[in-house]
Amino acid sequence: MICSDSNDRFVQVLSADLTPVRRLAPPAWRLLIWLAIVGLAALALAMVSDVRSMIHRLMAAPDLWLAAAGSLLTAVSAAAAAFQLSLPDRKAVWALLPIPPALLWIGASGIGCLRPWFVAGTSPMSIGDSDSCLVFILGFSLPLSLLLIVMLRRGFSLRPNLTAVVGGLACASAAATLLNFVHPYDATASDLAVHAVAVGIVMLANTLFGGRILMSKISLSD
């Protein structure tokens, strides 16, 4: 057992090691920075895609713009939750914040899957096109995840795995939102399944790798 005298000595050692620190920026400010970078990616995609046709397509069916709004809100709320969770004194309940928009996203996409069965003239995508969706979501999620993990690591999350999984949801849903720029199809069940698989892969990869990176920050073993 370590006696209390050693606590005093320990305090002295820590105090001797003290250097001034720059206070961490508020989570809302860090969120805005991340969203601004996602916005830049959206701007780049808008420059190389047909934005007018995308808006026309989304406005043509309420489920499509509801799904797009759901994925966008999921990205924003999940990123907000991840930045909150990166601070020691924030409750785990923040992880529930992206659930309502995620339900809207899943629900609207699910309803969209039914439309090709009832409405003539729709253009559902093939399995081959779904593969490109998978590559797009994974490809955009990777840099967004790296950026988010670096930003989250500046905090001090006491729940690293939960923070990483919520961060993964933010990146995957942001990538799925960006996909609308290059996705001139109506939703199908296979499309929805591919999106779900892509989001699942991104969240799993974030938990495995991002969680470890965040864990290494709070580990006392080094």
Binding stretches for other proteins (CB under 8 A): 1-4, 6-8, 10-12, 14-24, 26, 87-89, 155-156, 158, 218, 220
CB 160 within 8 A of CB 206: no
Nearer to other proteins, 18 or 43 (CB): 18
Rounded CA separation 174/152 (Å)? 17
CA distances from 130 to 32, 62, 140, 154, 161 (A): 31, 22, 15, 36, 29
Nearer to other proteins, 60 or 218 (CB): 218
Rounded CA separation 104/116 (Å)? 20
In the bound complex, what is the minimum distance in angstroms from residue 167's beta carbon to other proteins?
Answer: 17
Query: Quick one: which of 94, 209, 201, 92 has its CA closest to 149?
Result: 209
In the bound complex, what is the minimum distance in angstroms from residue 209's beta carbon to other proteins?
Answer: 22
Nearer to other proteins, 115 or 212 (CB): 212
Nearer to other proteins, 27 or 101 (CB): 27
In the bound complex, what is the minimum distance in angstroms from residue 212's beta carbon to other proteins?
Answer: 16
Rounded CA separation 178/28 (Å)? 22
Nearer to other proteins, 6 or 53 (CB): 6
In the bound complex, what is the minimum distance in angstroms from residue 70's beta carbon to other proteins?
Answer: 31
In the bound complex, what is the minimum distance in angstroms from residue 210's beta carbon to other proteins?
Answer: 18
Rounded CA separation 135/151 (Å)? 25
Rounded CA separation 37/128 (Å)? 30
